[in-house]
Amino acid sequence: MPKFAANLTMLFTELPFLERFAAAAQAGFKAVEFLFPYDHEPVTIHAALQANHLSLVLHNLPAGNWAGGERGIACAPERISEFREGVAKAISYAQALNCPQLNCLAGIVAPENATIAHTTLVENLGFAAAALQKAGLILLLEPVNTQDIPGFFVNRSAQALAIINEVSAPNLKLQYDIYHAQIMEGNLSRTIETNLAAIGHIQLADNPGRHEPGTGEINYHYLFKKLDTLGYAGWIGCEYKPKSTTQAGLGWLAAHHITL
């Protein structure tokens, strides 16, 4: 059975961020992920991980002004210097926190800027992949659905894989979010099976609502068995909004016979 990590940006949100580590460990998780660590010093997060015997499996590159609505700057030609500074910052955090992979959010792009956005993204991913390769880290590119984030530039698996192939860096992989993929393209199990070698990380939530498995239309019983059969060895990040409280929503683990 695949391994599951608690996404601390989405789970245990009734608690302050630094208290969510203990809550995740108490719930049985052995690993966590989150969007960004940059509001805290690396030593502070490292202490929370160590105290609760948790591994950090993923965080994102800096993504611009998140509170202001930005969702990545990797496509913005006027912000290449900022992107590169963010890569260096992310690597320093990842190394301090023993985090093996970093995710890149491409950003929101107007249709008329698609050509320059593509060129900029490829250039930035090439730079980031080379920097992460020197540090022994994996770089991920994540498609995000355009219903939740209108205008998000990389929004389908095929598009992301084409960009990954164009960059042609050995440490650049696909972050496959089942929730986003269900909204944009469906055909989940076949897409995963066909592209398994290119997938570095998986995330989950059910649809509609982005709640825990079992609350929507996605057949997670089938998908978990499929991933097990395929031998997927990576982590699956539980990046969903609990329908009630986080603890109440963890019943899906038992329903799928999952032991953390």
User: What residues pair up with 60 in beta bridges, in sequence order?
Assistant: 103
Judge whether residue 20 has pLDDT over 80.
yes
Q: How much is the pLDDT for 47?
A: 98
**Catalytic residue of the set 70, 112, 217, 239:** 239
Q: How much is the pLDDT for 30?
A: 98
**Catalytic residue of the set 41, 112, 142, 217:** 142
Judge whether residue 39 has pLDDT over 90.
yes
Which helix or strand (DSSP H or E) is residue 91 part of?
A: helix 80-97
Identify the band that residue 245 occupies on the pLDDT scale cut at 50, 70 and 90. Answer: very high
Q: pLDDT tens digits, residue range 144-161? A: 999 999 999 999 999 999
Q: pLDDT tens digits, residue range 73-128? A: 999 999 999 999 999 999 999 999 999 999 999 999 999 999 999 999 999 999 99
Q: pLDDT tens digits, residue range 103-113? A: 999 999 999 99
193 included as an active-site residue: no
Task: Tell me the CATH class for 3-255.
Answer: alpha beta
Mean pLDDT of 44-71: 98
Q: pLDDT tens digits, residue range 167-224? A: 999 999 999 999 999 999 999 999 999 999 999 999 999 999 999 999 999 999 999 9
Q: How much is the pLDDT for 2?
A: 83
Identify the band that residue 1 occupies on the pLDDT scale cut at 50, 70 and 90. Answer: confident
Vertex 200, ends 126 and 145: CA angle to 5°? 80
Exposure string for 40-50, b = 16+ CB within 10 A, e = fewer: eeeeebbebbe
The whole-chain average pLDDT of the chain stands at: 97
Structure tokens at 158: 């095929």
85 included as an active-site residue: no
Identify the band that residue 249 occupies on the pLDDT scale cut at 50, 70 and 90. Answer: very high
Q: How much is the pLDDT for 172?
A: 98
| CA–CA distance, 220 with 197 (Å, rounded to integer) | 21
Mean pLDDT of 235-245: 97
Cβ contacts of 68 within 8 Å, gap of 6 or more: none
| Cβ–Cβ under 8 Å, residues 145 and 183 | yes
